[in-house]
Amino acid sequence: MMECEKLADLVVAALEDLKAQDVKVLDVRRMTSVTDTMIIASGTSSRHVKAIADNVIDKAKAAGCRPLSVEGEREAEWILVDLSDAVVHVMLPRTREFYQLEKLWSMEEAAAEPTRR
C-alpha cells in the first residue's frame, strides 16, 4: 500500500489534472480510524465531477492502489472514492455547500483538541 502522503499527493495531482476546484486535504487520523486523509474537491457539472473521479481512480489504479469502493457515479453530484488511506469526495458546488464536510470535520477536530486556559 502507498504511504499516506504519497497517496494524497497522487490524488491531488489527479484532481488538478482535470481542473478540480477548491481542493481541500484534511488529516483526519485523530478523528476516525476509517481513513487517514479526506480530500474534497468540486467540479463544475455532473460530467466534470464524473471525469475528475474517473481520473482519480485511473491514477490510483496505475499506482497500484485499487479503490475499495466508488459511490455516486450514476448521479455524479457527489462521487466518493474510497482508497482506504484516503477517501476522496468530488462534488457539485451546491452539494458541497449543503453538506459542508469541511466544516463538519473541522468541528470534530476542534472538539478533539484540549481546552487551553
Average of per-residue pLDDT values in the chain? 89
Q: Which of 99, 22, 11, 94 is CA-nearest to residue 54?
A: 11
- 116 in a structural domain: no
- 117 in a structural domain: no
Is residue 87's pLDDT more than 50?
Answer: yes
- For residue 106, give the CATH number of its domain: 3.30.460.10
* Number of domains, the chain: 1
Share of the chain above pLDDT 70, in %: 87
Q: What are phi and psi of 34, to 5 degrees?
A: -70, -40
Cell numbers standing for residue 88: 476522496
β-sheet bridge partners, residue 18:
none
Cell numbers standing for residue 42: 468540486
Domain of residue 101: give its range: 4-111
User: Which amino acid is located at 72 in the chain?
Assistant: G
**pLDDT tens digits, 26-70:** 999 888 889 999 999 999 999 999 999 999 999 999 999 999 999
Which pTM does this prediction carry? 0.87
Strands 37-42 and 86-91: parallel
